[in-house]
Structure 1
Amino acid sequence: MWNYAYKGDEESGSAPLYPTMLENPELRWSFIRKVYSIVAIQLVMSIAVGAVVVSNHHISRFFATTGAGLALYIVLIITPFIVLCPLYYYHQKHPYNYILLGIFTVALSFAVGLTCAYTSGKVILEAAILTAAVVIALTLYTFWAAKRGQDFNFLGPFLFGAILVLMLFSLIQMFFPMGKISVMIYGGLASIVFCGYIVYDTDNLIKRYSYDEYIWAAVALYLDVINLFLSLLSIFRAADS
């Protein structure tokens, strides 16, 4: 395989992304561009939906003061998890995969927008800027590290264990609130975990996802970005209160 003569620079899709690469780099680059295009559209949708929810005080008031609003808020929270089940089955079937992905994105965007609706604009901007900077930096680092033969597949079990700890921590917080300091600690730990997930999922994007798994790859990266943003938002909000 390494008798092939790769010509051109890396961005043209003609150079291998990592030393042991056996597949066609052009196909992998095409897959990567497709996934990032989908993630970009998801993030634009999230920003648009979030902006509408934050700017329209009637929406936040409806969810905060009415029983129907509370019920709808619960539905919006659980809808993304419910949609993931049929999305797993139809993730390779067009156009059902895109329709389900759209429902997943809009529902999650509404939930994020409602979270931001009760947060100051300064805090939202700080969290958004830091999220963008971290995501770009970690993505560039992962591509650079993969090019030099580093592999991050070993992070999988550790990140899974960390997610379990965060889930248990949040449950404890629900029943036994420990104040602002514990919220900041939780946000800091969650931020570190999702930074790890960005590196891990980007490494999988470069090396392991098959070309038919572009929907799952996009969902994974999108959730990493959204969860990192929410983690940083909780830190800034607690510090600002």
Structure 2
Amino acid sequence: MATFYGKRDVELGNAGQLYPGMVEDPQMRWGFIRKVYSILCVQLLLAFGVAIAMFLVHPVREFMRTPNGLYVMIAAMVLTFVLCMMMFCFSKRHPWNYVILFLFTIAMSLMIGAVCTQKKGEAVLIAAGLTLLVTIALTIFTFVAAKRGCDFSFLGPFLLCALLLLIAFGLLRIVFPMGRLGEQVIGCVGALVFSGFIIYDTDNLIKRFSYDEYIDAAMCLFLDIINLFLYLLAIMGGDD
């Protein structure tokens, strides 16, 4: 009887594992995952709220289309970069990690809102809807694939190279405009790259992020989803 219950406990433990050969406590890993997604949901709701407010408030929308609005957008981009660097330095120092994360999310939200004010409402809604569907689908796919023993750590070097190429093309596009077709091609490539990043970072969330790296994990997924949205928005076009 004792052997039977011992065998049953082992089988239940294996059933609760997120991936084959898992040696850590599944409940602790699930608790970590829930914490990361809770932070991520707050970030996305805040970003969505700020962007929608900037898009719907007519004076703000008109201001962002002026040269002064462009300066505000550039300042938000610089602030986002600075806060991103600070985040990786203070990500494990409570409560500064939450303070910097909140400021980073606000700055990123302002930048997203500024981009949305240049687009038509239909394009923004379609891009947001596609981002939601793709993110949910890729997240479910990664969890199911991890459960079946798939590992996506090999994507890291390829995604890094693709990201560097996207940055290089982004800089070239400033000097040499590529036209509408060129923007759509880059948008498609960027959407594919950050779809890959969602799979890669979700796989890291399941297997490799340590329990005190919840801010880093949330930041990575937040940036993946936001960049996916921006590239999908570039594909949609709809300049107003």
Residues matched between the structures, number:
234
- Runs of 5+ unmatched residues, structure 2: 1-6
Deviations 1:111-163 (A, max 9, x none): 10111111111111111111111100000000000001110000000000000
Moved more, 140-149 or 72-81: 72-81
Instruction: Report deviation, 1:187.
Output: 0.2
Residue in 2 that maps onto 1:18: 19
Residue in 1 that maps onto 2:4: none
| Cα distance in 2, alignment partners of residues 151 and 85 from structure 1 | 29
| Cα distance in 2, alignment partners of residues 32 and 128 from structure 1 | 24
Deviations 1:23-77 (A, max 9, x none): 000000000000000000000000110011001121233233254x433221101
The aligned amino acid for 2:48 is: I
Residue in 1 that maps onto 2:34: 33
| Cα distance in 2, alignment partners of residues 9 and 52 from structure 1 | 47
| Cα distance in 2, alignment partners of residues 203 and 123 from structure 1 | 30
The aligned amino acid for 1:5 is: V
Identity across aligned pairs (percent)?
46
- Runs of 5+ unmatched residues, structure 1: none
1:96 is the counterpart of 2:90: no
| Cα distance in 2, alignment partners of residues 165 and 113 from structure 1 | 26
Give the number of the structure with larger relative contact order, counting CA–CA contacts within 8 Å between residues 6 or more apart.
2
Moved more, 30-39 or 73-82: 73-82
The aligned amino acid for 1:131 is: T
TM-score between both structures, scaled by the size of structure 2: 0.92
| Cα distance in 2, alignment partners of residues 195 and 54 from structure 1 | 26
Q: How does 1:10-159 map to 2 (within 5 A)?
A: 15-67=16-68, 69-159=69-159
- Cα separation, partners in 2 of 1:78 and 1:6, compared to 1, 3 Å: farther
Aligned Cα root-mean-square deviation (Å)? 1.9
SS class of match (2:64): helix
Residue in 2 that maps onto 1:191: 191
The aligned amino acid for 1:28 is: R
The aligned amino acid for 2:38 is: S
